[in-house]
Structure 1
Amino acid sequence: MKKILVLVGSGTPRGSTMQLTDAFIAGAQEAGHQVKKVFLGNKQIEGCRGCNFCQRSGSCVIKDDMQKLYPLFEESDVLVFASPLFFWTISARIKAFIERLYATSKDDKFPKKETMLLMTAGDENFWTFEQSVSYYRFVTQAIEWQNIGMCLAGGTKIEDGKHIIKENYLEEAFQLGKNTITRSEQND
C-alpha cells in the first residue's frame, strides 16, 4: 500500500480535472492505496520568496495554507499533480506548491518521492501538453523524483454548463491509479 497525495491545481471543484482526478483515486483505492486529495483552488499558497529563511531555520517563513500541506507531503510516498492546462503549462497553484517545497530540502536534496501527472485541456493538438510535460519532467529530474505515470486528457469541453471529458481518459486515469506501483515493487 502506498500513501498517495493528490494535489488538484484547478480553480473549478467539479470540472474536468476533478473528474480525471476522481477516476484516478477510484482506481488507486480499489488497489488498496491510501489517498489524500487536496483541492488547491480554495487554498492560499504564495510562491516562494527566495529568502532562504527555510534553509537557515528548517521551516518556511510564509504562514499560509502551505503550512498544513507540509505534513501531508512528508508522509506521502507518491505525489500526483492534477492540473488543467493554463496558458500552455500547469496551473500557478501547482507551481506555487512545487516552489514552496524548497523548504523541505536540505543542501538542495529533497525527500525522495514518486510522482504522476494528470492533466486536462480543451484541444487535442499533438503539441498541446508539450510545455507542461517538459516542465514536469525537468522539475522531477532536477530534484531526483521518479515519474511513474501520466494521463494527458485533451478534448475536454463545457456544454450547457457541464464539464465533459472523454470516457477513455477516465478509464486511463482509473487504470493508472489501480496500477500504481513503485520501482521497488516492480523489482520484487
Structure 2
Amino acid sequence: MKNILVVVGSGNRNGNTDTLVESFIKGATESGHHVKKVNLNGHIQGCRGCGACQKNGHHCIIQDQMQDIYELFEAVDTLVLASPLYFWSISARLKSFINRLYAISTNDEYPQKDTFLFMTSGSKGFYAFEQAVSFYRFFIRALGWHDKGMVLAGGCDKEEGNSIIDEHYLKEAYFMGCHLK
C-alpha cells in the first residue's frame, strides 16, 4: 500500500485540474492506497533564500500552510503534483510549494519519492507543456526522485462554469491510480 500526497496548485476548485486528480485518487483508493489531497489555496510564501532551514535542522522559519504540508510529507512515498498550465509553466502556487521543499531537500530523513505530474491546459499538443515538463524532470532528478508518469491534458475548457476535459485523460489518470506499484 502506498501513502500518496496529491498537491493541487490550482485556485479553481472543481476545475479541470481538480477533476483530473480526482480520477487518479479514485483509482488509487479503490486499489487500497492511502491518499491525502492538499489544495494550495492557503497562503504559501515564496522561499526567502535566507538559508535558515539548512542551519535549523531542515525546518523552514516561515509560518504558513507549508508547515502542515511538511508534516504530511514525512509519511508519503508517492507525490503527485498537479497544476494548470499558466503561461507555459506550472502555477505560481505550485512553484512556491516546490521552492519551499528546499528546506528538506538535503535531509536524509525524507526518503526518495515516486512522483507523478498532472497538468491541464486549453492549448493542445505536447509543445505547450514542454517548459513545465522540463522543469519537473530537472526538479525531481535533483532530489533523486523517480517519475512514474504524467498526464498532460490539453484542449481543456470551461463552459457555463463547468469543466470540460476529454474522457481519455480522466481514464488515463484513473488507470495510473489503479496500477500503482
Q: Is the structural similarity TM-score above 0.5?
A: yes
Runs of 4+ aligned structure 1 residues displaced above 2 Å come to 105-111
Query: Aligned residue for 2:160?
Result: 160
SS in 2 for 1:169: helix
SS in 2 for 1:133: helix
Query: Aligned residue for 1:89?
Result: 89
Q: What is the percentage of aligned positions where both structures have the same residue?
A: 55
The separation in 1 between residues aligned to 2:28 and 2:107, in whole angstroms, is 33
Offset, 1:106: 3.1
Q: What letter matches 2:105 in structure 1?
A: S
Offset, 1:136: 0.3
Query: Aligned residue for 2:134?
Result: 134
Deviations 1:26-49 (A, max 9, x none): 011111110000011x21111111
Offset, 1:125: 2.7
Query: Aligned residue for 2:123?
Result: 123
Query: Aligned residue for 1:170?
Result: 170
RMSD over equivalenced CA pairs, Å: 1.5
TM-score (norm 1): 0.92
Deviations 1:94-138 (A, max 9, x none): 111111111113379963111100000001134011111101001
TM-score (norm 2): 0.95
Deviations 1:129-168 (A, max 9, x none): 1111101001011111111111111110111221110111
The separation in 1 between residues aligned to 2:107 and 2:64, in whole angstroms, is 24
The separation in 2 between residues aligned to 1:12 and 1:108, in whole angstroms, is 35
Deviations 1:45-81 (A, max 9, x none): 1111111101111211111111111011111000000
Which consecutive residues of structure 2, in runs of 5 or more, have no partner in the other structure?
Answer: none
Q: What letter matches 1:29 in structure 2?
A: T
